[in-house]
A and B are shown apart, each in its own frame.
Chain A
Amino acid sequence: MTFKKISIACSFATFGLYAVLILSLFYFFRGERLLDTILSPRTLFSIRLSLGAATISTVFSVLIALPAAFALSRYEFPGKRAVDTMLELPMIVSPAALGAMLLIFFNNPLGLWIQDHGAQFVFTFYGIVLAQFVTICGVSTRLIKAAMDEIPVRYEAVARTLGASPGKAFLTITLPLSRRGIIAASILSWAKALGEFGATITIAGSMAMKTETLPIAIFMRLSSAEIEGTVILILILVSIGLSILYIVRLLSRGASYA
């Protein structure tokens, strides 16, 4: 067997692994329960909650990630390496640990003060948004930075010698040129937020019709051995996720500017 054949076989094996997992869901799939499950108030609430929280956390995350990614991509400043390393924290710390860190923070004096004088995060919708935000913020920044790294600094330099201020050069050159990357990063972050479970359940709990996002609903139904409902919810999550990945692929088919 040649190296080429072995490597192609491995790629199909990877695909097969996930395909088998998805296909195996259909063993417990009951078509007649599909509409009932999807249209049940509890499922609709979970979908709405998941979509709403993921959208809000993604918007906040991208708003912070855009300037942060630009700074990391374009400037040298003290502590840049530390900032850059910290972006990977959500990837190396398990989501449950991240949620536990949030919970511990809100039991510290500063956290308690925030809860008393600002918004309640523990066991609330805000907690879901915060858990998702903390999970995706580093990823969004990393992905947007990668998109901006692709844009040669010369474009901004030329724009500035033609009269653009740094802000105008960012808005008229860097932002439009990295648009595809930013959209792709936003969608991926949104998808990651949508599927977030560990941090969310740790800080927001699993209260039906209150903090039950789609992944939590899957966990809840599985806990109560309701396999058929679990399968339908998983399929909803998988469908949303794969559709999003497909859109990201389409958007990523842009030209390189280097």
Chain B
Amino acid sequence: MLEVTDLSVRAGTFVLSQVSLKVLPSSCHVILGPTGSGKTLLMESVIGLRNPQTGKVILEGEDITCLPMEQRGLSYVPQDLALFPHMTVRQNILYPIRIRGGKQNFENGIVRELIDSLSIGNILDRSVKNLSGGERQRTALARAVASGCNYLVLDEPLSALHESLKTELWYLLKDLQKRYELAILMVTHDLEEAFFLGDVISVIIDGKLRQQGEKRDVYRYPHNEDVARFLGVGNLFHGRVDRINDDSLFVRCEELGDTLTLSTHWRKLAVKKNDDFMIGIRSEDVLVQTPGEFMSNTPNVIEGTVMEIFETGASLQVIIACGHRPEKVKLVMHRSASTGLNIVAGQKIVIHLPKENLFLVELA
């Protein structure tokens, strides 16, 4: 297991503070965060390129914080991959074996297998300067795995690829991870990539670890407003706790002109009456119908008039005037939420925010 405890590191005026995380064997821990949040700084501290101010890096029980990079047992792939430009693909892949004085031939079991599984047998004698984006990524991964380290530290290695190639490499990376039982610590700002590859996700914003947990938990229940916004929760409304009973929480939401009922997810936060929070719901959980389609006792049903609609690929951004309130509310919903309905401006609709899908988020 790779363990980082209370790691703080400074770069100029920027400080990455008190980050702790664990990467279990054969698992992938993804560090997610916007550009400039300190993700690369964390990676560089873990591999030993930077000295942390405080904290420890522990690998399989051994404190490696002060060990030189070559003795840490972590193989690093930076964002630009750093393929050695004066070498061919073959020389790049064999570099870790050559440098350790190992037998340098491709009959070496793991190398041969790597070449086959990454389908790079046909480019071995090409200079790395003449490779396509995908070939470069494959070569970098092959070189990292050929080092024999079971722990890979990947700093946004797929960020320069276009979407279809990126997806192909996700599968490849998963396959490599399974095949060689790799533990991966990976940085990305791509949400899809993080949730596809990660088992555990840490969200870092402005140099601080804001949330950490199983990917499903992080996705479904962001703890605070910054994380929720970064994770693409399109619908966030201010709310004040009105009352609490055994299985529900009632939050007054002035923006929607209604009191919303939440079922269980608010229990993760310490909540008391009159506390202010944000209420969130993901776009895919918003349901839309025409008036009269929901039963009258269904909670969280809001009537409104569509003012404007903006299409953004798979989702719709609908500007709604709720009831007789002058303020307009922006709701982001999945296109499928309105299947069967041809929503147009001026139309009266009913929005249902299922109570089990609503969650509370701490204010930023």
Within 8 A of A (CB), among B136-190: 143-144, 147, 149, 153
A67 at the interface (CB under 8 A from B): no
B68 contacts A162, C-beta separation under 8 Å = no
Is chain A's binding surface mostly helix, strand, loop or mixed? helix
CB neighbours (8 Å) of B72 from chain A are 161
B77 contacts A158, C-beta separation under 8 Å = yes
CB neighbours (8 Å) of A177 from chain B are 84-86
A166 contacts B68, C-beta separation under 8 Å = yes
Contact of A155 among B74, B84, B99 (CB under 8 A): B84
Contact of A154 among B68, B78, B143, B153 (CB under 8 A): B78
A68 to B84, CA, bound (A): 23
B101 to A, closest residue via Cβ = A163
Of A37-45, A78-86, A168-176, the segment with at least 4 beta carbons within 8 Å of chain B is: A168-176
B95 contacts A159, C-beta separation under 8 Å = yes
Q: Give the interface size class of chain A.
A: 20 to 34
CB neighbours (8 Å) of A165 from chain B are 68, 70
A16 at the interface (CB under 8 A from B): no
Contact of A162 among B48, B80, B95, B129 (CB under 8 A): B95
* A162-B143, A164-B70, A172-B99 known; A155-B82 Cβ under 8 A: yes
B319 at the interface (CB under 8 A from A): no
Query: Separation in Å of the B111 CB from the closest CB of chain A?
Result: 13
B49 contacts A157, C-beta separation under 8 Å = yes
* A155-B82, A161-B70 known; A168-B99 Cβ under 8 A: yes
CB neighbours (8 Å) of B153 from chain A are 161
* A163-B70, A173-B84 known; A157-B95 Cβ under 8 A: no
Query: Separation in Å of the B258 CB from the closest CB of chain A?
Result: 54
Contact of B76 among A157, A164, A255, A257 (CB under 8 A): A157
Query: Separation in Å of the A185 CB from the closest CB of chain B?
Result: 18
A176 to B74, CA, bound (A): 25
CB neighbours (8 Å) of A173 from chain B are 84
A203 to B75, CA, bound (A): 55
* A154-B80, A159-B95 known; A255-B85 Cβ under 8 A: yes
CB 8 Å contact bits of A133-170 with B (1 = contact, 0 = none): 00000000000000000001111011111111110100
Query: Separation in Å of the A135 CB from the closest CB of chain B?
Result: 32
Within 8 A of B (CB), among A87-116: none
Q: Which of B47, B69, B144 has the most CB of A within 10 A?
A: B69
B69 to A, closest residue via Cβ = A160
B129 contacts A255, C-beta separation under 8 Å = yes
A159 to B76, CA, bound (A): 9
B76 to A, closest residue via Cβ = A161
B96 at the interface (CB under 8 A from A): yes
B100 at the interface (CB under 8 A from A): yes
Within 8 A of A (CB), among B63-104: 68-70, 72, 74-78, 80, 82, 84-86, 95-96, 99-100
A130 to B311, CA, bound (A): 76
CB neighbours (8 Å) of A159 from chain B are 84, 95, 99
Contact of A152 among B82, B86, B143, B149 (CB under 8 A): B82
Query: Separation in Å of the B108 CB from the closest CB of chain A?
Result: 15
A164 contacts B68, C-beta separation under 8 Å = no
* A155-B84, A257-B85 known; A161-B47 Cβ under 8 A: yes
B80 to A, closest residue via Cβ = A154
A157 contacts B69, C-beta separation under 8 Å = yes
A172 to B94, CA, bound (A): 13
**Which A residues contact B (CB, under 8 angstroms)?**
152-155, 157-166, 168, 172-173, 176-177, 255, 257
**Which B residues contact A (CB, under 8 angstroms)?**
44, 47-49, 68-70, 72, 74-78, 80, 82, 84-86, 95-96, 99-100, 129, 143-144, 147, 149, 153
Other A-B contacts than A154-B82, A158-B78, 13 sampled, CB-CB below 8 A, are A152-B80, A154-B78, A157-B44, A157-B82, A158-B77, A158-B82, A161-B149, A162-B143, A162-B147, A163-B96, A164-B70, A166-B68, A172-B95
Top 7 nearest A-B pairs (CB, nearest first) are: A160-B69, A162-B96, A161-B76, A158-B82, A154-B82, A164-B99, A163-B100
Q: List 8 A-B contacts (CB under 8 A).
A: A154-B80, A161-B149, A162-B95, A163-B96, A163-B100, A163-B147, A173-B84, A177-B86
